A and B are shown apart, each in its own frame.
Chain A
Amino acid sequence: MPKIIVNVMLKDEILDPQGAAVAAAMARLGFDFAKSVRQGKRFEITCQEKPTQADLESARSAASGLLANLVIEDFTITVEE
């Protein structure tokens, strides 16, 4: 079934201590390619049918009112068939 994917990330200017801890662990484990890590959230919303434009607008208002706090976070919305 199709899914609406909402990815939520802390804004760039907000300190992400969890991401920093992951980056430190990667460095300890020898994953030298990693310069820094930011950690976010992914929401998979399964839909009955292929989401319409109106569904995507609703998803956008759910993301801005509930899934993300726009004071500290940004989000993106995509659809997976």
Chain B
Amino acid sequence: MSTAIETHELSKRYRRASALTDCTVTVPEGRVCALIGPNGAGKTTLLRILAGLARPTGGTALVLDGEPRQDPAFLADIGFLGQEIPLYRSFTAEDHVRVGAHLNPRWDAAQARTRLEGLRIPLDQSVGKLSGGQRAQVALALTLAKRPRLLLLDEPFAALDPLARRNFLAALTSAVTDAAGRLTVVLSSHLVTDLERVCDHLILLAASRVQLAGDIDTLLAEHRLARKVEDVALEDLILTYMDADGTPAGNLLTTAGEES
């Protein structure tokens, strides 16, 4: 099985602080990977480096067998959705669909329109006038319409109510199924229960470092053996490793705010 993401001691230092330190992870192709960690753990930084939006200050990142770079073929393979939902507020959803058609080789405009119509999101209204949840749905539809091989989603649930979240996850799951093992997804979130439903892989970041990474079932099995307990929930596993780092575990589950 080929790997979609392979990083080696990936680091990002800003002038004052380290956002990511010696991050070494591997995500096989076709996986749906949860990126978990408290605010400021480095989740956004990692996703932005993988998308080619930020440059690492140390280490290497291989994404779909190449370094993230300014190359149309690489960019066509990456779907990125930032937590600020980057859309042109004065554009309508339809404008965005048309922009995407001009800028991408494999653009599926029909699919994007069908998805948005199915969610009853007006295509002809400027996205600045849509609700936060609707904007997130528009942005996801656009990201999927690009037909990427790697989907990088940063806090996609932040603006969504429970129903919209379920729609979003359903859309994501069907996109992964449709791609038949060719689509890899990395999504960051605080909401472990949502992630548990769709993810089969895990990267746990805290204080800019990787605390835990791997296949979720394997990690759970190892944890069961180590602790000699019958049943372990993903949440327990995560909390254990957050505690080990001395990070207040409460942070992880209760804070749903923005992260810089």
Binding between chains A and B: no
Which residues of B does A touch, CB under 8 Å?
A: none
